[in-house]
Amino acid sequence: MAKIDPIARAAEMSARGLILNAPYPGADRPWPAICTTCKSPTRSSYTSVITKGQGPCFTCGQRKSSAAAAFKRAVPADVAEAKIREANVEPLEDFPGTQGTWRCLCLTCFNEIDVWYSSVVYAGNGACDHCSGSREIPDADARAELLALGLEALVPYRGSNVKWRSRCTACKKIVDPTLCNARKTKSPCRYCAQRATDPDVAVEIMKEAGLKPLAPFPGSVKAGWKAEHIACGKQVDAVLDKVIQRRRASCVHCVRYGFKPGLPAFLYLMVNIALGAAKVGICNEGSGRIRDHERNGWKRVLIRPLPGYHAMRAEQHVLDRWLLLDLPQGVSRLDMPQGGWTETVALCDRTLLKLRKDFNAAIDATLEVGLDELTADCSGDDDSGCLF
């Protein structure tokens, strides 16, 4: 058997790019060293490196394997451009490869974006973080974008995929699409998108306004439509276009059932921050009306005790003021299961300071009128209420 020469074997290992840190340990034992290429520590044996011809450094071997695999996975530029266009984006520069971001233009929102080819083509993710809702944007920017889409925000922005309470600038109805959905649809307002086209939708709009159709949809939003006002059971001639646009109750026959104008009462002003709205209302002393509103998220701002007839006149004074200013209704029927949505206004249309002035002006105007004149406007002293 030939004699082993440790010095010769050390020279062979050094020639393979290693700086040895220990004497020869034996052919099959790990030999501590430093790779001269990547400066990483190694423990390859003499047998694996010299006899079997393997690489002396595990780290360098991994890098070579990764590079070879990446070369095999290399995507031709023309193929990459065709694939990325399927995600509705247009490249703004040459394809940089799968290991870096690719500057493109989103053809949906027309923002310039940085796209990861592997994420879009291999993982199936969306290309644009603006459209997907994953990108955080300031409240002011989101509001401006929503307004450009035809909707006015009524509450603060909480995310692209969170329902955002807003009002259509065209039909003045309250809707709650997400910003992502508003970007994708032709008309983000469900009323404007479907009005006058689908009889079933027309019936739903009537029901939401508190009306029960007594005849089939006439086929036009401008035509009269026989209906029953659900609250009082009386028949009205409704016009769908007016039902969609108007902010006041749809029935001229309605009276305030339960309110007794001959008894002491309260005039109150309340706000609901979550709904972005304010409400004026009246109730008799001892009633649970205010508590009902508070259980549904409303907070008292002002309250004033008044005789019942005075309270009715003061409330009407406020509502007439809002109507004169053409202020849309602040909430929908579905937002107030306890009732009272027709006496609301959005806080973005009327600031709290102006609402306080409306409230106090109504009281001042009412107290200037004598009780005899107030009672003369009513049909009687019974408890059924007063028609306005």
Q: Other C-beta atoms within 10 Å of 378: how many?
A: 17
C-alpha R_g of the chain: 37
Predicted structure pTM score: 0.45
Instruction: Provide the 8-state DSSP code for 386.
Output: -
Would you list the DSSP string of 69-107?
A: HHHHHPPPHHHHHHHHHTTTEEESS----TTSEEEEEET
State residue 124's pLDDT score. 79
Give the C-alpha separation, 366 to 222, whole Å.
38
Token pair of 139, please? 């409240």
Name, in order, each residue with C-beta under 8 angstroms of 59's C-beta and a sequence gap of 6 or more.
35, 38, 40, 42
In the chain, beta strands by DSSP E: 18-20, 33-35, 41-42, 89-91, 101-106, 112-116, 151-153, 166-168, 174-175, 211-213, 224-229, 235-239, 264-272, 277-284, 299-307, 344-346
Question: Regarding beta strands 166-168 and 174-175, do their DSSP bridges make them parallel or antiparallel, or are they unpaired?
Answer: antiparallel
State residue 386's pLDDT score. 32
Q: Other C-beta atoms within 10 Å of 30: how many?
A: 14
Give the C-alpha separation, 351 to 339, whole Å.
23
Give the C-alpha separation, 223 to 226, whole Å.
10
| pLDDT tens, residue order, the chain (388 aa) | 567 888 898 999 999 999 999 999 988 999 999 999 888 899 999 899 988 888 888 888 888 877 666 665 678 888 899 989 998 899 999 988 877 888 999 888 788 889 988 888 887 788 887 777 666 778 888 899 899 899 999 889 888 888 899 988 887 878 888 888 887 777 788 777 655 456 777 888 788 778 889 998 887 776 778 888 887 788 888 877 667 655 444 565 554 556 788 899 999 999 999 999 999 999 999 888 999 999 999 999 999 999 988 998 999 899 888 888 878 888 887 888 888 888 899 998 899 999 999 999 999 998 876 544 544 444 444 433 332 2
Give the C-alpha separation, 378 to 385, whole Å.
8
Token pair of 258, please? 């339960």
State residue 200's pLDDT score. 79
